[in-house]
C-alpha cells in the first residue's frame, strides 16, 4: 500500500514543484514518515529528490542564468557544507516549545521557525502591490545563496528560500526554473556527500523497489510539469510561488512539518 500512496504523492507534488522550484522534499518527507522511521524517511526522500533533480537538470538545466548561478550557487554550496556539518556534529537540537492539537503532538524548532518568518516576509513581497516591481540587486544574490544553502544543509529546507530570492532576480520563467534546478542539484550533491555515512546505515537496499517507483513517479510528474511550462505566465509563477511559500512557512512554523 505504501508504494501506491508514496508514488502518487511523488507524482502529484513533482508537477506542482516544477513551477515553484521547491516542495517535493518538504511534502514527501512527512509521507515517508508515516510508514518508516525518521532517519530512513529522510534518506528515502533524499534519494527521490536527488534523482528528480537530475532529470529536471536534463530538461531545463541549459536555461540557467550563468551569472546568477555563479553569484547565488557558489555561496549556496559553501554554506550547505557548513549547515550539513552542523547537522551531523550537533544532532541534539531541542524544540523551543511543543503543543497538542486534535490528539497529535507537535514540536517547533528554532531553525524552522526562523525559516518560516523569512518565508512569510518574502512571500508578502510578491502579494502586496506596493512591492510589485521590487527586485533584489545582483549584489544581494550571494546572501540569498548562503541562506538557502545553509538552511538546506541544516534542515533539508533549501528550496523555499532559494525560490524567494530567485523569483525577484529579474529572470524569465525558463531561467528561473533552470537556475533553481541547477542550484538545487549542487546543494543536494553537497549535503548528501556529508550525509553519506548516515545513509549507509539506514537499510536503503531493503526498500529499493519503493525508491525506484517513487523516483519514476516523480520523474513522470516533472516531465508533465515541463510540458505545462509553456502555458504558464511569469505572473502566475510568482503568485504560485508566493502562496506555496506561505503554506510551507505556516506548516514549518507550527511544527506540522
- Torsion angle, alpha carbons of 256, 46, 188, 165, to 10: -30
Question: So what's the pLDDT on residue 75?
Answer: 92
- DSSP secondary-structure letter at 95? P
> Among 163, 158, 171, 218, which residue's Cα sits nearest to residue 7?
218
Determine whether 81 is exposed, middle or buried from the number of CB atoms within 10 Å of its CB (0-12, 13-18, 19+). middle
φ, ψ for residue 162 (rounded to 5)? -60, -50
Q: What is the pLDDT of residue 211?
A: 81
Nearest to 124 by CA among 173, 19, 116: 116
Q: What's the CA gap between 57 and 65, in Å, rounded?
A: 13
Q: Which residues of the chain have pLDDT under 50?
A: none
Q: Which three cell numbers stand for residue 145?
A: 545563496
Q: Is 2 helix (H, G, I), strand (E, B) or coil?
A: helix
Amino acid at each position: 500500500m505504501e508504494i501506491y500512496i508514496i508514488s502518487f504523492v511523488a507524482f502529484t507534488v513533482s508537477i506542482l514543484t516544477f513551477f515553484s522550484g521547491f516542495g517535493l522534499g518538504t511534502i514527501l518527507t512527512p509521507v515517508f514518515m508515516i510508514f518508516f522511521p525518521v532517519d530512513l524517511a529522510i534518506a528515502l526522500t533524499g534519494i527521490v529528490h536527488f534523482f528528480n533533480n537530475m532529470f529536471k537538470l536534463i530538461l531545463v538545466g541549459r536555461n540557467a542564468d550563468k551569472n546568477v548561478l555563479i553569484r547565488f550557487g557558489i555561496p549556496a554550496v559553501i554554506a550547505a557544507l557548513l549547515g550539513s556539518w552542523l547537522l551531523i556534529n550537533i544532532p541534539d537540537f531541542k524544540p523551543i516549545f511543543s503543543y497538542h492539537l486534535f490528539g497529535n503532538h507537535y514540536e517547533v524548532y528554532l531553525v524552522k521557525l526562523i525559516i518560516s518568518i523569512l518565508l512569510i516576509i518574502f512571500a508578502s513581497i510578491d502579494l502586496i502591490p506596493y512591492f510589485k516591481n521590487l527586485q533584489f540587486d545582483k549584489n544581494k544574490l550571494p546572501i540569498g545563496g548562503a541562506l538557502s544553502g545553509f538552511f538546506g544543509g541544516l534542515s533539508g529546507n533549501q528550496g523555499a528560500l532559494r525560490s524567494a530570492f530567485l523569483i525577484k532576480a529579474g529572470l524569465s520563467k525558463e531561467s528561473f526554473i533552470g537556475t533553481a534546478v541547477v542550484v538545487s542539484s549542487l546543494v543536494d550533491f553537497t549535503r548528501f556527500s556529508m550525509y553519506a555515512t548516515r545513509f549507509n546505515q539506514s537499510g536503503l537496499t531493503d526498500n529499493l523497489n519503493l525508491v525506484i517507483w517513487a523516483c519514476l513517479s516523480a520523474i513522470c510528474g516533472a516531465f508533465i510539469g515541463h510540458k505545462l511550462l509553456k502555458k504558464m505566465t511569469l505572473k502566475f509563477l510568482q503568485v504560485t510561488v508566493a502562496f506555496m511559500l506561505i503554506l510551507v512557512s505556516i506548516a514549518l512554523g507550527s511544527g506540522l512539518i
